[in-house]
Amino acid sequence: MFDLTALARRGQSSAKKLATLSTVEKNKALTAIADGLRANVQSILTANQIDLAHADENGISKAMQDRLRLTAQRIEDIALAVEEIIQLDDPVGKVDRGFTRPNGLEIVQKRVPFGVIGVIYESRPNVTVDTAALCLKSGNAVILRGGKEAYHSNLALVTCMREALEQSGFNPDMILFVEDTSREVSRQLMRLNGYVDLLIPRGGAGLIASVVENATVPVIETGSGNCHLYVEKTADLEMAVNILENGKCSRPSVCNALETLLVDWEIAEAFLPKAKKALDAHQVEWRGCDKTQAILGDGVLPASQKDYETEYNDYILAVKIVDGIDDAISHINQYSTRHSDCIVTKSLDFSRKFTREVDSAAVYVNASTRFTDGGEFGFGAEVGISTQKLHVRGPMGLEHLTTYKYLIIGSGQIR
């Protein structure tokens, strides 16, 4: 049986040393990883082909296969993302604030690593490298537990990174991989109190729910994205079509893709045929309310409540005609996973109302939800999109992978 506790002990040991490395040393390690990825493209692609073949045999959707697929260019993009992290400011040691108390005590709040971060994720091999690189730069050892769908790809990437670290004189145990993909071992990772300082799940609603229900270590919820677009009655219809097409079709398998379209009843007859024509080019399946079906006809399947609750990660769109902005906001706050939601409008008052009352991590006015991303926000690569309110919300970059401690300097004060 896989000895997860022994693996975690190795992570703890490496984390102590990693926390003391300088920015120059950490950047040297990251450079070695980027170079190692480029030197091992063929072996990584060979491993990825095994996963893709299994995915096809198991009937995994084309959208999810795209999420799994690696190409030479995608590996180069992953290496470039590592190099972007090198250019980012190191958060470790950053002083958030400092002050002197009336009794002369000097108090400083300073950024420090968590220690060992566990990450449980599904089917996206780029997460393996992005997460490892972010954890390394922020001074944390990482335990990676990827999904079985991407097992061979993840193992090849981790092997490449660990070899690059070792050949450069660093402890390879800064990056650890759980080779057992069973649920039992996954649950063990969720309960490794005393070994894992923070656990981050990245994946669909089922994975997130499982981790939240079973974990006893601290957890940050990320990833599940039932994202909405509301086309308000004053909207520029061409803009709305472009935002819808980009949000739904540019990459439907990711968490910031659109899943539900809400349309004001006053413009539904003008807007919906335009939207349907644009999405038909991508063979998107529509599931709509009675009013949507009445306007668009047999090309729309009837929508159930479950459709409005679902993160499809596929070329499927739930559609509802709403009775104004209050109805739209009520629907979003009922069904949204608090990830990313958007309004298209020309009204300043309606945009302010929407941003004020929609309770999501990222609320958009006249822009695609696909921008909810660490790189697009200027954070560099991200470890995930937090949909909770503690301790971070939205894209999680380097600084969000640190905590802080207080340094108190005195001159003999007693209480």
DSSP code of residue 365 = E
Question: Quick one: 4-222+383-409 is in which CATH superfamily?
Answer: Aldehyde Dehydrogenase; Chain A, domain 1 (3.40.605.10)
Q: What is the pLDDT of residue 334?
A: 97
- CA terminus-to-terminus distance, the chain: 53
Q: What is the pLDDT of residue 193?
A: 97
Q: What is the pLDDT of residue 147?
A: 92
Please give the single-letter amino acid code of residue 265: W
Q: What is the pLDDT of residue 209?
A: 86
Burial 167-200 (b: 16+ CB within 10 A, else e): ebebbbbbbbbbebbeeebbebbbebeebbbbbb
Residue 136 CB contacts under 8 Å (≥ 6 apart), including other chains: 18, 26, 29, 30, 33, 142, 174, 175
Q: What is the pLDDT of residue 21?
A: 98
Query: How is the chain split into domains, by residue range?
Result: 4-222+383-409, 227-371
In whole angstroms, give the CA distance from residue 239 to residue 236: 5
Q: What is the pLDDT of residue 123?
A: 80
pTM: 0.86
Strand partners, 100: 106
Residue 148 CB contacts under 8 Å (≥ 6 apart), including other chains: 181
Q: What is the pLDDT of residue 267?
A: 98
pLDDT tens for the chain, 415 residues long, are 789 999 999 999 999 999 999 999 999 999 999 999 999 999 999 999 999 999 989 898 887 898 899 999 999 999 999 999 999 999 999 999 999 999 999 999 999 999 999 999 988 899 999 999 999 999 999 999 999 999 999 999 999 999 999 999 999 999 999 999 999 999 999 999 999 999 999 877 788 889 989 999 999 988 689 999 999 999 999 999 999 999 999 999 889 999 999 999 999 999 999 999 999 999 999 999 999 999 999 999 999 999 999 999 999 999 999 999 999 999 999 999 999 999 999 999 999 999 999 999 999 999 999 999 988 998 877 888 998 888 889 999 899 999 999 999 999 999 9
Helix or strand or coil: residue 300?
Answer: strand
Question: Quick one: 227-371 is in which CATH superfamily?
Answer: Aldehyde Dehydrogenase; Chain A, domain 2 (3.40.309.10)
Does residue 391 have a cis peptide bond before it, meaning omega lies within 30 degrees of 0?
yes
* Tokens 């922020």 sit on residue: 138
Helix or strand or coil: residue 338?
Answer: coil
Residue 308 CB contacts under 8 Å (≥ 6 apart), including other chains: 260, 318, 320, 331, 335
> In whole angstroms, how far apart are CA 33 and each of 15, 27, 167?
18, 10, 10
Residue 27 CB contacts under 8 Å (≥ 6 apart), including other chains: 86, 137
Number of residues assigned to the chain = 415
